[in-house]
Structure 1
Amino acid sequence: MTESDGMTAYAVVIPTLGRPSLGACLRALAATGGPGPERVVLVDDRPGPGGTLAADVPPALRTRTVVVRGAARGPAAARNRGWRAAGDVPWIVFLDDDVIPGPIWGDDLALDLATATGRTAGVTARVEVPLPADRRPTDWERNTAGLATARWITADMAYRRAALEAVGGFDERFRRAFREDADLALRMLDAGWTLAGGRRTTTHPVRPAGRWISVRLQAGNADDVLMTRLHGRAWWRRAGASRGRLPVHLAVTAAGATALGCALLGRPRAAAACGAAWLAGTAEFALARILPGPRTRDEITTMALTSALLPPAASWHWLRGQLLYRSIPPRRPSEAGEPEPQPRPAVRERLRS
């Protein structure tokens, strides 16, 4: 790795929970050609004391790598802690701890940054998600593959430090790895900056996940409510985000709840009709998820179980978001470029060789 020039100098910020994938990410970063980072900031966002972060940092990065303790408040807060501790460099490159930068990532990044205009706030990477070649992908694999077409994804996103300072960084009300990237990008655009597509390539492997992952992911419906409160209903179109099946989930959940209520009130015909509507909606949803997949016994079982639980989970989190964010006013365009109060710099812990 070589040194970058002053205009394209950059630091890498990686929020992490100490997953084993962090080592592979750092090894790929060290092995890539082109100018290397001025600093690598690992934000240890594990809850509790945690002890020293077990990071297998390659020798090429060891002297320029620091660990910053996060507050266990999610990736938005962790990235803010990281870029503010990264030093006075023009560019901050955010990486997730489970991505693999490509072999010429550094050279391509240098070109991405060198060709950015003065009003370019950020430059995206091309994210590739490898899928099995010998079978159809599972529901979870198809979900992860959607990252390849997501706009402004912070799995690999370079932001100009001046732009981050101008808008106050990430909105830390987004506590999950969901929508915090779209919110920041929209605020950049509202402040008059532009965003560009880059040429560097990063691989995002499909990480292992349990049977109930799709149910847990429904917590993102609350984040969608926050996005609507902040940016209005047009944010879906501006961010190129999918609306998903929330209206159908609400209808199916309502049918199931009504069927249960009618049964308790001794109205069997109404309960049967609503129950049939719930069953039809659940079956349609399960089939829509089963047919594109490998159709193994385990996958069919998982889809059948989660298709019954997912609509009420989505409805619950949507209602929770409506209550939680009901008093948040819309963000005015003039607010997009106003810096928010910044916390005190985090204490750095330099890795020892």
Structure 2
Amino acid sequence: MKYSVVIPTVGRPNLDVLLEALAEGTGPDPCEILVVDDSETRLGPAAARNTGWREAQGEWVAFLDDDVVLAPDWKARLCADLQNLPPDVGASQARIVVPLPEDRKPTDAERGTAGLATAHWITADMAYRREALARAGGFDERFPRAYREDAELALRVQDAGYRIVRGDRVTTHPVKPATFLTSVRDQRGNADDALMRRLEGSRWRSRIGGAQGRLQSHAITTAAGLLAVLCGVMGRRRLGGALAAVWAGRTAWFAVVRIAPGPRTWDEIVRMTVTSALIPPAACWHRLRGEVRHRRVRP
């Protein structure tokens, strides 16, 4: 089984651990391990993966994120997953496990990472037939973040006539580090959603098995807040007060929805309360930015 491994990286500390696991693990060795450093160019993981697979020599290209943790027998299990796959199978996805705290409920950030365990076609550990990558044209480099670029490629690979299967190998993806405003910064992905809509049509979310987004709700909340401020400036205090109450009520409900499944510690409650006020306008701004930027994109 001839396979190559491609790892895009921005220099995370786990990279050395990952490379050590690949070197010392049991099973057939890859043709090569291609580590593509994106820490300086910042072109994004899509561009880094394209650079890697186009240099790869293997029939299969296994993409790994630089922060995953591999089992000691990962190489053997990968080869077992790929062995004797029919020609119409273009990719094999690993089973992703996200370890969560056992002594408390997970935080909002931890729940976000846990979603990787059920996501379709993520390249945290995904092996593609090189021929399928070539026919599909590789990753779309207009996706600048590690968000949607893997699902969009998977749709094109399947549109080219290939199937994507789930293998038996298991890979661990640790919870991503988070700061107070991580959930607000994550709203940048709304710009990528605009690109997905342009490329795949209005039903793109159902095609990738994604849950319905909150953009419409965020738009209503943001509009209520902006109109309340505008009414205040224009001296229409009664209408402005009513709109401010709508904004406050919707923001409070959004915070409660996010707080309820979590550990409900004081720091988590404060974080959810503050970011629940910031997320709606951030989401709307990034979606608008994406719609404008990608307005000329055609499928």
TM bucket, shorter chain? over 0.9
What is the CA-CA distance between 1:274 and the residue it aligns to? 0.6
2:197 maps to which residue? 228
Distance in 1 between residues matched to 2:162 and 2:250, nearest whole Å? 44
The one-letter amino acid paired with 1:84 is: R
Distance in 2 between residues matched to 1:257 and 1:25, nearest whole Å? 48
Structure 2 residue 142 is the aligned partner of structure 1 residue 168:
no
1:59 maps to which residue? none
Structure 2 residue 239 is the aligned partner of structure 1 residue 270:
yes
2:168 to 177, 181, 199: 199
2:45 maps to which residue? 75
2:11 maps to which residue? 18
Distance in 2 between residues matched to 1:226 and 1:243, nearest whole Å? 17
The one-letter amino acid paired with 2:152 is: D
> What are the ranges of 5 or more consecutive residues in structure 2 without an aligned counterpart?
none
1:92 to 50, 61, 69: 61
Distance in 1 between residues matched to 2:145 and 2:170, nearest whole Å? 24
What is the CA-CA distance between 1:107 and the residue it aligns to? 1.7
Structure 2 residue 241 is the aligned partner of structure 1 residue 248:
no
Structure 2 residue 228 is the aligned partner of structure 1 residue 259:
yes
2:112 to 120, 135, 143: 143
The SS at the match of 1:100 is coil
Contact map agreement 1:29 1:100 (CA 8 A) in 2: no
The one-letter amino acid paired with 1:291 is: A
1:210 maps to which residue? 179
What is the TM-score normalised by the length of structure 1? 0.83
Superposition misfits of 4+ residues, deviation over 4 angstroms: none
2:90 maps to which residue? 121
> What are the ranges of 5 or more consecutive residues in structure 1 without an aligned counterpart?
1-7, 48-70, 332-353
Structure 2 residue 123 is the aligned partner of structure 1 residue 157:
no
Distance in 2 between residues matched to 1:24 and 1:212, nearest whole Å? 28
What is the CA-CA distance between 1:85 and the residue it aligns to? 1.8
What is the CA-CA distance between 1:103 and the residue it aligns to? 2.4
169-178 vs 112-121, greater mean Cα deviation: 112-121
What is the CA-CA distance between 1:82 and the residue it aligns to? 0.8
Choose between structure 1 and 2: higher helix proportion: 2
What is the CA-CA distance between 1:119 and the residue it aligns to? 1.2
> What does the per-residue CA deviation read over 1:135-181, in whole Å, with 9 as the maximum and x for residues that have no partner?
11000000000000000000000001111111110000000000000
What is the CA-CA distance between 1:237 and the residue it aligns to? 1.1
1:28 to 21, 27, 30: 21
The SS at the match of 2:216 is helix
1:103 to 72, 75, 88: 72
What is the CA-CA distance between 1:37 and the residue it aligns to? 1.2
1:307 to 256, 261, 276: 276
What is the CA-CA distance between 1:72 and the residue it aligns to? 2.0
The one-letter amino acid paired with 1:37 is: P
The one-letter amino acid paired with 1:25 is: L
Distance in 2 between residues matched to 1:254 and 1:292, nearest whole Å? 27
Contact map agreement 1:140 1:214 (CA 8 A) in 2: yes
Distance in 2 between residues matched to 1:28 and 1:284, nearest whole Å? 45
2:81 maps to which residue? 112
> What does the per-residue CA deviation read over 1:18-41, in whole Å, with 9 as the maximum and x for residues that have no partner?
110112222222333211211111
Contact map agreement 1:72 1:78 (CA 8 A) in 2: no
> What does the per-residue CA deviation read over 1:173-205, in whole Å, with 9 as the maximum and x for residues that have no partner?
000000000110000111111111111110000
CA RMSD, 1 decimal: 1.0
The one-letter amino acid paired with 1:35 is: P
What is the CA-CA distance between 1:111 and the residue it aligns to? 1.3
> What does the per-residue CA deviation read over 1:202-237, in whole Å, with 9 as the maximum and x for residues that have no partner?
000013211100000000011111101101112111
What is the CA-CA distance between 1:273 and the residue it aligns to? 0.7
What is the CA-CA distance between 1:105 and the residue it aligns to? 1.5
What is the CA-CA distance between 1:281 and the residue it aligns to? 0.6
Count of matched residue pairs:
299
The SS at the match of 1:286 is helix
Alignment identity in percent?
56
Distance in 2 between residues matched to 1:14 and 1:175, nearest whole Å? 16
